[in-house]
Structure 1
Amino acid sequence: MAAMTSGSRRTPARRKAESSSRARRDGAADSDKPARASTARRELVENEMYEQATRLFAERGFAGTSLQDIADAIGITRPALYYYVKSKDELLAKLVTEVTDGPLNELKELVAHTDLDPVGQLRALVEIIVRRRATQPARFRLLIRSEAELPDELTAAYDDSRRAVLKTIAEVVEDGIRAGQFRPVDARVAALGVLGMCNWVAWWFHPGGRDDVETVTDQLAEMAIAALRRPDHHTLDGEGPEAALKMLRQDLDHLERLLKD
C-alpha cells in the first residue's frame, strides 16, 4: 500500500482544528434558532395587535379604546404590550404605515425590477392592491374612516403614499400608451379608475364567501387590462413614431373607403 503523503496526512492538531471549526458552525446555527423564534413570535404578536386594534378602534372609536383594552384582547399584559408599542398614537401610526407603505413598496419593487411589458405590469399592480384589500379589508376601512382624526404628520404621510401609488399606476398606463398596447387615454384618470376599483374590494369582498381571493384578483386584473387595451386589430406594429404613423395611415385609408361608399 502506498504511503500517505504529508499533504493528505491529518495530524492531531489538524483534527482538533477541524473539530473546533465544526463546533463553531454548529454553535452559530444553534444560536440563530432563538433569534428566528423571537422574530417569528414578534411578527405573530404584532399582527394580532393590528387585528385587535383595528377591531376595537372600529367598534369603540380611537378615543374610546385604551392600550389595556388591546392588551386584554390579545391576551397579554399591558407592560408586555409596551414592548411592541408605547402609545395609541404610535400604534395608529404603525397601522397607517402598514396599510399605505406596504403595497407602495411592493409596487415600486415590481416596476423597478421586472422585465414585464406594461400589460403584465398593470396586471401585477392590480393583483398586489386587490390581494391587500381582500386580505386586510378592516385595516383599510379603518384608515379611510379615521382620515379626519389622523394627526397632521400621518395625514401628510398618507397623502404622499396615495399620490405615489397613483403616480406609479399612471406611469405604467402611460408606458402602455407609448408602446401602443393601451388606448390613448388620460393616464391619470385611468389610474384613478383602476385604483378605485381595487380599493372598493375592501368594502364588498368577504373572506369565506362565494368568491375566493384569487378568483376576484384574476377577474379584476383582466377587467383593468380590458378597459385600456387597444383592440387586437388596432395594435401598433412595432414601437415609436413610425409605427404610430403607419397605424394613422391605415385609419385614414379606412376613413377614405367609408367616405367613397
Structure 2
Amino acid sequence: MKNQIIQACVEAFEKKGFSETSIQEIVDRLGVTKGTFYYYFASKEQVLMTIHRRYIDELLIQQKELVRRADVSYTEKLYGLIRVLISNITPLGNSARVFHREYRHLNETHMKEVREKRNQVRLIVEEVIRDGIKAKEFRQDLKADIVTLGILGICNWSYQWFQSDGMFTDLEVADIFIDMISRGIEYS
C-alpha cells in the first residue's frame, strides 16, 4: 500500500501540483481511508520527500557506478552520465517532473538534504569534466562549472517536454544532446 500511495501522489502532484492536491484526493483515488495514509506517512510533505529521495538516490547510484569504472575514458563517462539523466525519463518521468517542480514545498530540513544531493549530482558531472580537461580529452579553456550547469539544464529540462511515445526514444535524445555537447567540449 505504501508504494501505491507514493504512486498516487506522484500522479496527482504531477498533474495538479503539490499545493493543490489534498490528502483526501489521494485516499479517494486509492479507495482507502485517511487512516491508511497516515499509517504510512505523517504528512503529504513526507510523501514528497520520499519521492525526492527515491528519484535522486537512484540517479546517484547510477552515476557513482559509472564514474568508478577505470576502463572508461572521461569522455565516455560524461556521455554515460548524460544517458543516465535522460534514460530515467521513461521509468521516472512523473517523479522527475515532481522532483524538479515541487521541491520548493519542502521544509528547510528536507530542502537542505535535497540541495546536498543535487550538489552531489552536479559535482559528479563537474569532476568528470575537470578530469577530462586534465587528461586533454576536453578543451583546456572550458569552465567546468558552467559547462556542468549547461549540461544539467539541458538534461533536466527535457523532463518537461519529452514524451516516451514521441518521435525519439530517450536514448536517441541523449545521443542528440551528446553530439551537440561533444562538438563544444572535445579537445582538438
Q: TM-score scaled to structure 2, two decimals?
A: 0.85
Residues 97-246 of structure 1: pairs in structure 2 closer than 5 A? 97-184=53-140, 185-231=142-188
Q: What's the secondary structure of 1:206's corresponding residue?
A: coil
Does structure 1 retain, via aligned residues, the 8 Å contact 2:17–2:102? no
Gaps of 5+ in 1: 1-41, 232-261
Q: What's the secondary structure of 2:163's corresponding residue?
A: coil
Residue-by-residue CA offset, 1:203-233 (whole Å, 9 max, x unaligned):
12112111122221222233333321123xx
Q: Distance in 1 between matches of 2:29 and 2:70?
A: 42
Does structure 2 retain, via aligned residues, the 8 Å contact 1:123–1:222? no
Q: Once the 2 structures are TM-superposed, how far is the Cα of residue 192 of structure 1 from its aligned partner? A: 1.0
Gaps of 5+ in 2: none
Q: Once the 2 structures are TM-superposed, how far is the Cα of residue 84 of structure 1 from its aligned partner? A: 4.2
> Which structure is higher in RCO with an 8 Å CA cutoff and minimum separation 6?
2
Structure 1 residues 59 and 113: CA distance shift in structure 2, 3 A: same
Residues 52-67 of structure 1: pairs in structure 2 closer than 5 A? 52-67=8-23
Q: Once the 2 structures are TM-superposed, how far is the Cα of residue 171 of structure 1 from its aligned partner? A: 0.8
Structure 1 residues 78 and 114: CA distance shift in structure 2, 3 A: farther
Structure 1 residues 79 and 193: CA distance shift in structure 2, 3 A: same
| Range moving further from structure 2, 82-91 or 170-179 | 82-91
Q: Distance in 2 between matches of 1:191 and 1:116?
A: 19
Root mean square deviation, CA, Å: 2.3
Does structure 1 retain, via aligned residues, the 8 Å contact 2:63–2:84? yes
Q: Percent identity?
A: 28
Does structure 2 retain, via aligned residues, the 8 Å contact 1:182–1:228? yes
Larger Rg: 1
Q: TM-score scaled to structure 1, two decimals?
A: 0.63
- 2:45 aligns with 89
Structure 1 residues 113 and 73: CA distance shift in structure 2, 3 A: farther
Q: Once the 2 structures are TM-superposed, how far is the Cα of residue 78 of structure 1 from its aligned partner? A: 4.5
Aligned residues: 187
